[in-house]
A and B are shown apart, each in its own frame.
Chain A
Amino acid sequence: MAAEKLSIDQRETDKAIVLHFHGELDLEVAATLFRDKLETVVYRTEKELVLDLTDLSYIDSTGIGILVSVLKIRNERKAALTVQNIPAGVRKLLEITGISQFLLAGVKGDAH
């Protein structure tokens, strides 16, 4: 069981920007993740933002904080956000912290 550093694949379609998370989202990557990877896409309100967590193998409270930050920014701007394929272990932590329902509901964006 080797620890896998977080990597994010970005794919863009006509209507959406899809970020596919691989690996472990902990304090080490959380410190720079927003600035390095998310800032450029989270404010792009013209497209839906999709966070695909299929291969997110680990998350801690700092990682959960990042997901909440993204959710808040998209919500403030009424910009569409979908969080999909949350693994069972990650979902358990999101449920414990009361955040699961908000992430699963996502944000319905204003129609463009």
Chain B
Amino acid sequence: MNPYVSFSIPAQAEYLDIVRLTLYSFATKAGFSFEEIEDMKVAVSEACNNAILHAYEDNENGRIDLRLEHDGEHLRITIKDHGQSFVFSQEGIGIPEQQEDIKDLAVGGLGIFLMEALMDDVRVSTGNGSGTEIVLSKRLSRNGEYV
């Protein structure tokens, strides 16, 4: 069995740093570079942000389940909530349209795009009222600055 760490946090923003710290420790042991770990920290935070902001809304009892797994070549991060499923706009995936004017810049909606840009693979699955599961994968590149 591949080494993995699983844990869950309350779906509240004040616990996000625990996710990033745990990911940092796990990815360091797996041999990822500083830059790769920074990319993954942002991507996993974006996935958790979505759960906090959209899945549970004002329900303070919501939880987010996380699993970090390393198979020797990839680090796979699973983020699962049990709240309202939310549909990612497929239009949000891909390079944002280059804007020419500050007035046209979007204030929100960058989360799914950042996940796509920073990870090698992003899979989102939503069940009928059973929450949303996001699986993020990053390939070990074996170059870059190590921590």
Query: Which residues of A are at the interface with B, using a C-beta cutoff of 8 A?
Result: 1-3, 24, 26-28, 31, 58, 60-62, 64-65, 68-69, 71-72, 75-76, 89, 93, 96-99, 102, 107
Asked if B46 contacts A60 (CB within 8 A), the reply is yes
Known: A3-B20, A97-B113. Contact between A68 and B13, CB under 8 A? no
- Does B129 count as interface, using CB distance less than 8 angstroms? no
Interface residues contributed by chain B, number (CB under 8 Å): 32
Known: A28-B13, A60-B49, A97-B113. Contact between A1 and B21, CB under 8 A? yes
Chain A interface, DSSP helix/strand/loop, else mixed? helix
- 10 A-B pairs besides A26-B45, A58-B20 with CB distance below 8 A are A27-B13, A27-B52, A60-B42, A60-B114, A61-B114, A65-B107, A72-B102, A72-B103, A96-B113, A98-B99
Mask for B8-22, Cβ within 8 A of A = 1, else 0?
000001101100110
Give the one of A1, A31, A61, A64 with max B CB within 10 A.
Answer: A61
Give the one of B20, B42, B99, B111 with max A CB within 10 A.
Answer: B42
The B87-113 residues at the A interface (CB cut-off 8 A) are 95-96, 98-99, 102-103, 105-108, 110-111, 113
Asked if B16 contacts A27 (CB within 8 A), the reply is yes
List, in ascending order, chain B residues with CB within 8 A of A93's CB. 42, 114
Q: Which residue of B lies closest to A62 (CB)?
A: B49
